[in-house]
Amino acid sequence: MTKIEIPLDHPRRGSLETREKIIEGHETHVVATAGLLAHGRGEAFDYLIGENTTELAEQASRAAVAAMLSAKHPVISVNGNICSLVPNELVELSEICGAPLEINLFYYRKEREDAIKNALFAAGAKEVLGTHDRPSATIPELSSNRRKVDPDGIGAGDVILVPLEDGDRTEALKALGKFVVTIDLNPMSRTAVYSDITIVDNVIRALPLMVEQAREMKDLPKDDLRLIVEDFDNTNNLATSVHIIMNHLEASIYDIDKMRQKFYAGENKQ
């Protein structure tokens, strides 16, 4: 297995460690080859939002958790990338919100399904839906592998958390009348735009925060939770997220200048 030693003082240590998780997930069949590319796209957008959870993302996350806690039948859709990055938090969130975990893959292969199922069980899951040995229903609007859903999971669900999802699937879930919550670093992606609540953040930071918020909010009355959801405006959330990126880009113009001045002032010369 390729495992590189990342120096403790490497300025991008966190990002490289996350990359290693994805690479390892690919080697164990959890992550699709296309998942490596999807991760790279995510990394680029994370850079643009400043590699931090913004206050805006924190609010979106709160609304997302409120939607899951007040749902009749919340479900968490699991793909390769999310499973390789935050398996323990998926299981914790699933338990706190009473939301079953359903494997739903775009690039389906039986060995990937098995690897993901095993990773979830190793992280403490007691039940995993969406596997080949379970009954399946189909989303008629979809032609990809993701058209198959578990009738006890997404098929019956009212609020579906779909982290890192492709746009067609989100569109189909909306056409079926589901309330869709997503986590996507790209506020302009079709999934981000079609969803009811979009957390514009890296799943690496978003899932632990959701677990923390779910613990804090789990005993709130349902009416209070519903009010939090009703008060949330995803159009405003996405537009402000794009503004955050624009402001960050603008600030970088000065950062580049400062970095170059520092570098060429001789601090890095032998």
Cα distance between residue 194 and residue 165, in whole Å:
11
Cβ 245 to ligand PTJ shortest distance, Å: 12
Identify which of residues 61 and 189 has a Cβ nearer to ligand PTJ in the complex: 189
Chain-centroid distance, C-alpha 192 = 11
DSSP 30: S
- Applying CB under 6 A, which of residues 21, 25, 26, 38 lies at the interface with ligand PTJ? 38
Residues 70-109 that bind ligand PTJ (CB under 6 A): 79-81, 105-107
Cβ 267 to ligand PTJ shortest distance, Å: 33
Burial class of residue 263, CB neighbours in 10 A (0-12, 13-18, 19+) = exposed
- Residue 173, number of CB atoms within 10 A of its CB: 27
Residue 229 contacts residue 63 (beta carbons within 8 Å): yes
Cβ 261 to ligand PTJ shortest distance, Å: 32
- Applying CB under 6 A, which of residues 16, 34, 242, 251 lies at the interface with ligand PTJ? 34
Identify which of residues 38 and 228 has a Cβ nearer to ligand PTJ in the complex: 38
Cα distance between residue 189 and residue 154, in whole Å:
22
Chain-centroid distance, C-alpha 164 = 5
| By the rule CB under 6 A, 197 interacts with ligand PTJ | no
Per CB under 6 A, residues contacting ligand PTJ are 32, 34-35, 38-39, 41-42, 45, 79-81, 105-107, 164-166, 183-186, 189, 202-204
